Chains A and B, each alone.
Chain A
């Protein structure tokens, strides 16, 4: 079955460490997205990529970095510059950014600071 796989499900980080969240899709989708959810907030866009080797900042990109070297993969690195990284992170993909295509979501990664 096609889908989006995020790993790990739970992640703990020490202060000052970078951590990388994995997102893989086998839906042959061009576009991929990273969102962050905090209690009482909607999904906020961190970064998105419309095609391989290209990505754009979302509303809250500071302290995060991404790469899109393969169509299937869009890893998110939470750097030590992100001052409040504890949150739930969701990855999504869609066929293309336009064309009224729905987004497909992974199960999420919950990141906590030790």
Chain B
């Protein structure tokens, strides 16, 4: 089974701090990398789908980078706000006709 690892498991930051976390995946089987945000009592929401090595995507204060050769992706949040508190999931897709494999998530708490 494909292993997708996320670190850290959880972190607490102060409002206004910038933060980042990591998703690692096997680089030998790679088609796409997904990031989702999952707020408590809501459904997971798609942030980014990335496919190309060196790809960088941005959505407001959140951005992500992708390195397919070494098998990792970083998610960055600039100037964290309390509403950024959520679990951030990444998922790797080994090929075009196979489903996603999810990591366990990084739980972010932003303290006002």
Contact = CB atoms under 8 A, between A and B. Distances in A.
A43 B89 contact: yes
Contact of B43 (A33, A42, A99, A106): A106
Size range of the interface on B? 20 to 34
A53 interface: no
B68 to A, nearest CB: 13
B60 interface: no
B103 A33 contact: no
Interface string A8-40: 000000000000000000000000010100001
Name B's interface SS.
loop
A42 B49 contact: no
14 contacts: A40-B104, A42-B105, A43-B89, A43-B91, A45-B99, A48-B99, A90-B43, A97-B97, A97-B98, A100-B32, A100-B49, A102-B34, A105-B44, A108-B43
A90 B44 contact: yes
Given A42-B4, A103-B34, A107-B43, A97 B96 contact: yes
A101 interface: yes
Interface residues of A, number: 27
Contacts of B103: 42
A83 B72 CA distance: 36
Contacts of A102: 34, 36, 46, 49
Nearest to B34: A102
Interface of B: 1, 4, 31-32, 34, 36, 42-46, 49, 51, 89, 91, 96-105
B93 to A, nearest CB: 8
Nearest to B96: A98
Contacts of B98: 97
Interface in A30-89: 33, 35, 40-45, 48, 50, 58-59
Contacts of B102: 35, 42-44
Nearest to A106: B43
Contacts of A4: 43
